[in-house]
Amino acid sequence: MTIRKDLIKQILSNKENYINKIVRKNIINLIPYQSARLLDKNTLNNKILLNANESPIISIFSLKKKIFNRYPEPQSKKLIYLYSKYVKLNSNNILISRGADEGIDLIMRTFCNVKYDKILFCPPTYGMYLITAKILDIKYIKVASLKNWNLNINEIKKNIDNVKIIYICNPNNPTGNIIRQKDIIELLKITKNKSILVIDEAYIEFCSKQTSINLINKYHNLIILRTLSKAFSLAGLRCGFILSNKNIINLLIKVIAPYPIPTPVIDIAIQALSPNNLIIIKNNIKTIMYNKRWLILHLKKCNLVEDIFHSTTNYILVRFFNASYVLKKLSEKGIIIRDQSHELTLQNCLRITIGTYYECKKLIFELHKLSY
């Protein structure tokens, strides 16, 4: 019996060694993106989930489409039309994607030559720019943000050689700050005819006046990423949008999968963008921002908190005196928040998604218990 077990282990080991010989070398040691669900596999068991920047408000839709034996439209004309009305852009400026994450990947695959090109991003920021570059084996440059988290434009200028794409998250995740419009315009000017500037606006509905959509028709090297995952309360839908000039959209259409958006996703997204539901979403945003103000007010009274950073989004970044202790104790109480201590300059920082009023009260209650 022991001999047989040893033989099975050897066979499995040989198979693994064989696979390692044929897999791309950069994938073998790749550490994948640590999504909220990956970090805490049991987060759906009656826990308070404040770690993934999802909306706490449930959107209730029912499928109108009942037949699924045919492929969907590659790009739903009705969905694009409704989104074009929502963002006040021409339909030719819009491509539907599987969340903003597919957009990050698609743009790299379309524009970057693995041998020569680089991407650039400014940490601390969203981790998928780095992970996608590693997966595709594309070189990358990190230009750290300034202490106030504004972009270090001078340093970006020095590092722009062979940079094909610059990714800027606005508002930035996990810090929650707005990137100044004058910095975005300056980047568009210095990258003209050289690079693509991608503005990731996943959280823009929480500060809608800060959008860069008005720049799309003026600067032909601008791409904006959007999603229904956050303010629209549809993270489970995986529906996003790429906004740019017609020429860029036509290039991305060549590369995107033939049928990227499933029929049920199109069905629900169309419902979400109806005028009545847009009113509901605006009211939901107001509720979340009210809860945020309440939470910040009470966090300021908590002696575990060292600093609360200004945020324009549905999450806040908080520096605790002992973040690992707070994270562990809250987790034991079923409250899951996101550790950011591993990010550049964010030691002892935890990111807290704004939950329901009850969830915010529960969080404050548990924090005050830990304070004594």
Mind listing the domains of the chain with CATH numbers?
36-56+277-371 (3.90.1150.10), 77-273 (3.40.640.10)
Q: Look up tokens 């022991």; give the residue.
A: 2
User: What radius of gyration do the chain's Cα atoms show?
Assistant: 22
Res. 38: pLDDT tops 70: no
Give the pTM.
0.93
Res. 3: pLDDT tops 60: no
Whole-angstrom distance, CA of residue 143 vs CA of residue 46: 40
Find, among 261, 264, 239, the residue nearest to 66 by Cα: 264
Report DSSP state, residue 227: E
CB 212 within 8 A of CB 184: yes
pLDDT at residue 6 in the model: 64
Burial of 265 (0-12, 13-18, 19+ CB in 10 A): buried
How does strand 240-243 pair with strand 94-97? antiparallel
Give the DSSP H/E element, type plus range, for residue 13.
helix 2-22
Distance linking the first and last C-alpha atoms of the chain: 57
DSSP one-letter string for 256-310: S-SS-S-HHHHHHHHHHTSHHHHHHHHHHHHHHHHHHHHHHHHHTT-TTEEEE--
Q: How confident is the model at residue 357 (pLDDT cuts 50, 70, 90)?
A: very high
Give pairs for 298-301: CB < 8 Å, separation 24+: 298/360, 298/364, 299/364, 299/367
Q: How confident is the model at residue 372 (pLDDT cuts 50, 70, 90)?
A: confident
Res. 125: pLDDT tops 70: yes
Res. 2: pLDDT tops 60: no
pLDDT at residue 40 in the model: 64
Whole-angstrom distance, CA of residue 317 vs CA of residue 350: 6
Mean pLDDT, all residues of the chain: 93
Q: How confident is the model at residue 45 (pLDDT cuts 50, 70, 90)?
A: low
Q: How confident is the model at residue 60 (pLDDT cuts 50, 70, 90)?
A: confident
Burial of 136 (0-12, 13-18, 19+ CB in 10 A): middle
